Amino acid sequence: NLWKGFEGYEGKGKPSSWIYRVGLNTCISFYRQQQRRGEHTSLDSLYGLEAEDSETTKRLKEMYRLIAGLDKFERAVILLWLDENSYEEIAEIVGVPRNTVASKLKRIKDKLTKQANS
């Protein structure tokens, strides 16, 4: 998909932000195709967590379960943040102002913390 979309790259911003955006769009398209076909892939199987049983693995499974319950935009923002992107990079990738990313991340973190503690 990067090669297909390269002609559309305008050179604005960092190339890594554009690559993330292409990847995000590809994932969204794949997810929609799976939904139409009635298929589902668990996050556990993607990350190889099915057979593991350590405390860390249990916490990761719970975190992925909570993240999977977020809407698509929230999920994209928190996963980009967990991947150590800056607020500016996240803003560029998802197409919103930096301050929107900052406030949205705070709300997402609060939401996940509340759900994890309930």
Query: What torsion, rounded to 10 degrees, do the Cα atoms 18, 22, 25, 30 define?
Result: -160
Q: Is residue 105 in a domain?
A: yes
Asked if the structure places residue 51 within a domain, the reply is no
* Residue-wise pLDDT tens digits, 7-57: 666 666 676 676 767 677 777 676 677 767 776 655 555 555 555 567 777
Q: At what angle do helices 15-37 and 72-82 cross, to 10 degrees?
A: 140
- Residue at 58 is within a domain: no
Quote the pTM value: 0.58
Q: Which residue has the higher pLDDT, 18 or 90?
A: 90
- Does residue 60 lie in a domain region? no
Would the pLDDT of 4 be above 70? no
The band of 117, judged by pLDDT with boundaries at 50, 70 and 90, is confident
Q: Does some domain include residue 24? A: yes
Number of domains, the chain:
1
Q: Where in the sequence is the domain holding 96, given as residue range(s)?
A: 2-40+71-117
